[in-house]
Amino acid sequence: MKLNQLSDNPGATKKRKRIGRGPGSGTGKMGGRGIKGQKSRSGVSIGGYEGGQMPLYQRLPKRGFNNINAKTHAVVNLGLLQKFIDEKKIDAGKPITEEVLVESGLVRRVKDGVRILNKGEITSKIDLTVTGASRTAVAAVEAAGGKLTVAQAAKADADA
C-alpha cells in the first residue's frame, strides 16, 4: 500500500453545507431558517431556550448560599513568612506590614486584608501588623520574642 492509495471509508466524510448560495443549492434565499421571526435574524440566539422544554439550568437544583458580606483574606502561614525572612526577601529588623508582604512577593494582593495562620515555625523576632491572625499564631510570634498586632480592632473603634 502506498500513501496515494489511502482514503477514508465510504460515508466517513461529508461535504460542508453551503447556505445562502442561490436556489439551485437547495438552501438559498432564507438558508433553512424559515420565514421571519427572531430565529431567522442574524446575530440573535435565544440562550438556554430548549423549544418549550424546561431548560437545563432550571431543571438542576439550586444549592448553597453566597454571603455578599463575606470577607476574603490573603492567608499567610508563619512557616512561609520565616522562609522569606531566611531568604532575605523580608527584613525582620524592620516592622512588617501588609505592604511589605506584597512587595516581597509573599502575598499577591491584599483583598480584604492579610490573615496570619500558625502553620510552620517562626524563629525570628518580628514586629508584624496585619488585619487578622489566629490566636495560636499570635502566641507563636510572642513565644519567639516578637509582636503581632491586629489592625482590625483599631479600624473598628474608629468607625464606632
Return the CATH number at 91. 3.100.10.10
Q: Is 6 contained in some domain?
A: no
Residue 99 within a domain: yes
**Assigned domain for 46 exists:** no
Alpha helices by DSSP H, listed for the chain, are 56-59, 78-86, 98-104, 135-143, 152-159
Confidence label for 152 from pLDDT (cuts 50, 70 and 90): low
What tens digit of pLDDT does each residue of 131-143 get?
A: 999 999 999 999 9
Residue 27 resides in a domain: no
pTM, 2 dp: 0.55
pLDDT in tens, 79-124: 999 999 999 998 888 999 999 999 999 999 988 999 999 999 999 8
| Domain membership flag for residue 113 | yes
**Residue that the C-alpha cell 510570634 belongs to:** 141
Per the structure, the complete domain to which residue 129 belongs is given by: 74-159
Q: Which residue has the cell 514586629?
A: 127
3-class secondary-structure state, position 126:
coil
Domain count across the chain: 1
